[in-house]
Amino acid sequence: MVVKETFRLHPPVPILPPREAMREFKVGEFDILPKTRILVNVWAIGRDPNGWEKPNEFYPERFEGSRIDFRGLDFNLLPFGAGRRICPGLDTGATNVEFTLANMLYWFHWELPNDMKREDISMEEEVGLACQRRTPLWLVPISNSSQVE
């Protein structure tokens, strides 16, 4: 749930690589002609209030009991694209994120540095080819020595 919510709010790339329409079709009230270049803004889709309740809040529980997945089958969550042009590294990337997160949470307790409080953390992003935090997050890992034996 945490990984899905993270991919929803912070997709690996904010806008998918361009696609070209092969035939005429409609998107809402817009007519799309053949050969039109189409850009899909997955960042905006993940924050669309028509698709998500409280779209700007980090709330992993929204996926509890939900069949929504980030593998391109649900158009509300497309961090890796969909169809034949889906990111070929999806499985490797998702597995690495889950494995790394699980190990970091298992082996360490995390604290903020220098008496910093949770309210002081800025989640503002800089948007470019990929999204990144405007201010780097610094955490202090404290070994869970009870796990080591």
Question: Which residues are known binding-site members for heme?
Answer: 87
**Cβ within 8 Å of residue 147, ≥6 positions away:** 106, 107
Tokens 């803004």 -> residue: 41
Known binding-site positions? 87
Q: For residues 125 and 131, is the Cβ–Cβ distance under 8 A?
A: yes
Q: For residues 46 and 4, is the Cβ–Cβ distance under 8 A?
A: no
Tokens representing residue 132 in the block: 């990144």
CA distances from 57 to 21, 27, 63 (A): 34, 28, 13
